[in-house]
Amino acid sequence: MSTSPDRREILGWLREENPRRLEELWRRADATRREYVGDAVHLRGLVEISNHCVRQCAYCGLRADHRELIRYRMTAEEILAAAREAVSLGYGTVVLQGGEDPGLTSTGITDIIRQIKAETPLAVTLSLGERSETELAAWRTAGADRYLLRFETSDRALFDAIHPPLGRQPCDRIALLRRLKALGYETGSGIMVGLPGQTYTSVADDILLFRDLDLDMIGIGPFIPHPTTPLGNSIPPESITDQIPNSEITVYKAVALTRLVRPDANIPATTALATINKHNGRELGLQRGANVFMPNLTPVKYRQLYEIYPAKACISETGATCGGCLATRIASIGRRVGRGTGGRRTPNGQGRYVLQDTGVL
Is residue 81 packed enough to be buried (19+ CB in 10 Å), middle (13-18) or exposed (0-12)?
Answer: middle
- Residue number, 190 or 323, with CB nearest to ligand SAM: 190
Report the alpha-carbon angle 132-345-269, nearest 5. Answer: 75
Considering only 29, 47, 60, 224, the residue that binds ligand SF4 (CB under 6 A) is: 60
C-alpha to C-alpha distance for 141 and 278, rounded to whole angstroms: 39
- As a whole number of angstroms, the distance between CA 155 and CA 144 comes to 30
How many C-beta neighbours within 10 Å does residue 222 have? 24
Residue 257 contacts residue 25 (beta carbons within 8 Å): yes
Residue 246 CB burial class (10 angstroms; 0-12, 13-18, ≥19)? buried
Shortest distance (Å) from residue 338 CB to ligand SF4: 27
Residues 300-319 touching ligand SAM, rule: CB under 6 A, are 308-309
Among 14, 25, 29, 53, binds ligand SF4 (CB under 6 A): 53
Q: Are strands 93-98 and 353-354 parallel, antiparallel or unpaired?
A: unpaired
Q: Which residues within the stretch 272-301 sit at the binding site for ligand SAM (CB under 6 A)?
A: 272
By C-alpha distance, which of 62, 215, 228, 207 is closest to 129? 62
Q: Report the site for ligand SF4 in 129-148 (rule: CB under 6 A).
A: 129
CA distance 301 to 282: 24
The footprint of ligand SAM on this chain (CB under 6 A) covers a number of residues equal to: 19
- Residues 150-169 vs ligand SAM: string with x where CB under 6 A? x-x-----------------
272 binds, among ligand SF4, ligand SAM, none (CB under 5 to 8 A by kind): ligand SAM
What number of chain residues touch ligand SF4 (CB under 6 A)?
A: 10
Residue 190 is a binding residue for ligand SF4 (CB under 6 A): no
Element (H, E) at 190: strand 186-193
Contact status, residue 262 vs residue 220, Cβ threshold 8 Å: no
Residue 44, H or E segment = strand 40-50
CA distance 129 to 246: 23
* 223 lines the binding site for ligand SAM (CB under 6 A): yes
- Under the binding rule (CB under 6 A), the answer on residue 219 touching ligand SF4 is no
Distance CA 201, CA 28 (A): 22
Residues 196-215 that bind ligand SAM (CB under 6 A): none
- Using the rule CB under 6 A, which residue among 28, 33, 44, 63 binds ligand SF4? 63
Query: 63 touches which of ligand SAM, ligand SF4, none (CB within 5 to 8 A by kind)?
Result: ligand SF4
Query: Should residue 195 be labelled a site residue for ligand SF4 when binding is judged by CB under 6 A?
Result: no
* Torsions phi, psi for 4 (to 5 deg): -75, 130
Q: Residue 311: what are its φ and ψ, rounded to 5°?
A: 55, 35
Candidate residues 123, 192, 204, 260; the one interacting with ligand SAM per rule CB under 6 A: 192
Residue 198 or 356: which CB sits closer to ligand SAM?
198
Does position 127 bind ligand SAM by CB under 6 A?
A: yes
- β-pair type (336-337, 346-347): unpaired
Q: Which of 43, 149, 176, 294 binds ligand SAM (CB under 6 A)?
A: 149
* 5-34: contacts with ligand SAM (CB under 6 A): none
Q: Answer with the entry of ligand SAM, ligand SF4, none that 221 interacts with (C-beta below 5 to 8 A by kind).
A: ligand SAM
Q: Which stretch binds ligand SF4 (CB under 6 A): 25-33, 54-62, 276-284, 342-350?
A: 54-62
Q: How far apart are CA 328 and CA 180, in angstroms?
A: 35
Q: Which stretch binds ligand SAM (CB under 6 A): 56-64, 175-183, 201-209, 331-339?
A: 56-64
- Give the separation between CA 73 and CA 235, rounded to whole angstroms: 34
- Residues lying near ligand SAM in the complex (CB under 6 A): 59-60, 62, 97, 99-100, 127, 129, 149-150, 152, 192, 221, 223-224, 226, 272, 308-309
- Residues lying near ligand SF4 in the complex (CB under 6 A): 53, 55, 57, 60, 62-63, 99-100, 129, 308
